[in-house]
Structure 1
Amino acid sequence: MSQTKTVIYLFDPLCGWCYGASPALASLAGLAGLALDLLPTGLFSGAGARPMDEGFAAYAWANDQRIQAMTGQPFSGLYRTRILADRRRPFDSGPATQALTAVSVTAPEREFQALAAIQAARYVDGRDVTAAQTLSDILAGLGLAAAAALVAGREGGQDGALTAATAARVERGRQLMAEHRANGVPTLLFDDGSHRRKLDSDILFSKPGRLAALLRAL
């Protein structure tokens, strides 16, 4: 009996390059004998969060245009005017990371779908995914009622278990980054059941089929 292979995806939900990598990750759906394990690294949460000031917004938009040119992933005018121009909320991936953890503990097989929906809500629809209500609405719209309820409860400070689960996932993600000397996200690790190694992240930004073809051959 063949052993299941696992791709570990180290990411941050507010990382533009991770959004750019989404088509390549989506191409893995349905590959026989392959599991996808999403692990947030907390890169832009906690001490990594920062104000959305004018300088950072300009830097982000310039970077986003590079990502769009390379991957075809859209960064809309709504995102630029509603998100990058909003000085009231910080650049903080903590709430989105919590929301994805809520999915991971209630419907783990749908976490990538939830990540893609959160990314599209931000970068295409210009919705504020630093707000728990927005995140709860996104999850509810996907039919993820249990996860949506957890996120809504977290907004009122009612779910310490969700906070603890999020912290544990982020810690594991950071440990793997350190172990494999990863410099940033997105990072891909491949585990064949006996050995784990880091893959070249550049493959995430080429034609999506290249990643699937590589993994079939490993």
Structure 2
Amino acid sequence: MPSTSTTVTYLFDPLCGWCYAAAPALQYLQGVDGVDVALAPTGLFAGPGARPMDAQFAAYAWANDQRIQQLTGQPFTQAYRDHILGAANGRFDSGPATLALTAVAHTAPGRELDALHALQRARYVDGRDTTDAAVLADVLNTLGLADAAAMVLAPDAGLHSAMAARVANAQATLQAVGARGVPQLVVAGQGEALRLLSGDALLGPREQLVALVRAAAAD
């Protein structure tokens, strides 16, 4: 087992289809000895980045999702198309899911990646609306994360401030490494210099991903 731990910062948005495609690689990476995955939600589709789910955007999203499924095998179901993309008065807004993940980070930080993957499955496979606090709380309760679920149902100013700080830090990291969009991986190398690994690394062979992380940490 490695004597030191390497932290890989995962820059993502819970409503990003390519981030969902990267879920199996993140799960694998989390299980590698000496590697810690730290989640950094960027707020890409929250706040000013949120928008109504109109027919034009839904069609664009479905076409993109089908391409992701063909390339990666991650499923986007008819339930998702009907109940999320086809929802009347629906919203494309990652703020609520980001708030839920922040609640997990505060109450059970070791489970945050599990929670992210569960929220992604709830949306893309089960067709559940992860902009709805009741849905978010139910998913967290199913994972045994009752404290986080309670925070989601009654969020206070402290939780909102914590989410805003996480998003600001993630955006600062994106700027520091000159990256645009998500998913992205950032590794702290020798002397704490930040090394950017392209999100494409998450879609390639797992052994190659680990090798890239090790090399970036040693650089």
TM value normalised by structure 1: 0.94
**Partner Cα separation in structure 2 for residue 53 and residue 123 of structure 1:** 18
- The answer to whether residue 158 in structure 2 is matched with residue 161 in structure 1 is yes
- The answer to whether residue 94 in structure 2 is matched with residue 93 in structure 1 is yes
Query: Which AA in structure 1 matches 2:86?
Result: A
Query: Which AA in structure 2 matches 1:26?
Result: Q
Q: Name the counterpart of 2:59.
A: 58
Deviation digits for residues 45-104 of structure 1 (CA, Å, limit 9, x no counterpart): 000000100110000000001111111100000000110001312100000000000000
Deviation digits for residues 4-61 of structure 1 (CA, Å, limit 9, x no counterpart): 2110000000000100111111111221211111000000000000010011000000
**Partner Cα separation in structure 2 for residue 92 and residue 178 of structure 1:** 22
Query: Which AA in structure 2 matches 1:107?
Result: A
Match of 1:212 among 205, 210, 213: 210
CA contact (8 A) 1:4 1:193 kept: no
**Partner Cα separation in structure 1 for residue 111 and residue 163 of structure 2:** 17
- The answer to whether residue 180 in structure 2 is matched with residue 179 in structure 1 is no
Query: Which AA in structure 2 matches 1:56?
Result: F
Q: 1:193 to 1:104 in 2, by over 3 A?
A: farther
**Partner Cα separation in structure 1 for residue 90 and residue 203 of structure 2:** 30
**Partner Cα separation in structure 2 for residue 132 and residue 192 of structure 1:** 38
CA contact (8 A) 2:177 2:194 kept: no
What percent identity do the matched residue pairs reach?
56
**Partner Cα separation in structure 1 for residue 195 and residue 210 of structure 2:** 17
Write out aligned runs for 1:1-218 (5 A): 2-154=3-155, 159-192=156-189, 194=191, 195-216=193-214, 218=216
TM value normalised by structure 2: 0.94
Does the residue aligned with 1:27 lie in a helix, a strand or coil? helix
Query: Which AA in structure 1 matches 2:34?
Result: G
Superposed CA RMSD: 1.4
Q: In structure 1, list runs of 5 or more residues that go unmatched.
A: none
Query: Which AA in structure 1 matches 2:152?
Result: V
Shift of 1:217: 5.0
Q: 1:214 to 1:64 in 2, by over 3 A?
A: same
How many residues were matched structurally?
Answer: 214
CA contact (8 A) 1:70 1:205 kept: no
CA contact (8 A) 1:187 1:198 kept: yes
| Deviates further, 76-85 or 23-32 | 23-32
Shift of 1:131: 0.2
**Partner Cα separation in structure 1 for residue 115 and residue 86 of structure 2:** 25
Q: 1:14 to 1:33 in 2, by over 3 A?
A: same
**Partner Cα separation in structure 2 for residue 185 and residue 65 of structure 1:** 18
